[in-house]
Amino acid sequence: MSGRGRAIAAVAGDVLASLILVISATWLPWATYRSAALVMTVEAGRLGLVLVVCGAGSLGLVAGPLLWNRAHAYWLQLVLGCTALICSLVIALSSIADANRTADVRAGYSTTSYAIGAGLAITASVVLVVTSVTQLRSRTVPKQSNGRTSEPASIS
């Protein structure tokens, strides 16, 4: 794939991952608890706001480099992606812990698992990090030497 094709795929990945991150933080369940007496889902909660900010910020940063070529936007997008990845892992683990705290004290069958929101948010965060690194790598062109020196030649 050419450099331009990778850049287009990275932008498309950023847009899709940002939208999925916002959707998973606002609407989707993050953990489920099922027992004979109770079925409960756990949402992202207050920490989901961080994911919404990361997703919206990343979505806003996608439009910036389309208008001007700035490497700083890609670095900021990488920071947002790493923040979203860490936050989505924390939310996923805390959601499982919250669901486990609602456990029925009576003996019986119960199960706690991750729900679709956790999986999508973690995947979207990884995509944000990967596309940011891809865009940063496509912007840095290695300097090639053509064998010439910048100093004038002197005849002795």
Q: Domain residues for 126?
A: 3-102+110-138
The answer to whether residue 145 is domain-embedded is no
pLDDT, tens digit (0-9, with 9 covering 90-100), for 36-51: 777 888 888 888 899 9
The answer to whether residue 49 is domain-embedded is yes
Residue partners of 131: CB distance under 8 A and separation at least 6:
10, 11, 13, 14, 17, 77, 81
The answer to whether residue 131 is domain-embedded is yes
Q: How would you classify the pairing of strands 31-35 and 110-114?
A: antiparallel
pLDDT, tens digit (0-9, with 9 covering 90-100), for 65-120: 666 666 677 888 899 999 999 999 999 999 888 888 776 556 666 788 888 999 99
Residue 147, phi-psi category: left (phi > 0), alpha (psi -120 to 50), beta (remainder): left
Strand partners, 40: 33
Q: What is the pTM of this model?
A: 0.78
User: 51: how many CB neighbours lie within 10 A of its CB?
Assistant: 24
For residue 151, name the pLDDT band (cuts at 50, 70, 90): low
8-state DSSP, 102: T
- The CATH code of the domain that includes 24 is 1.20.140.150
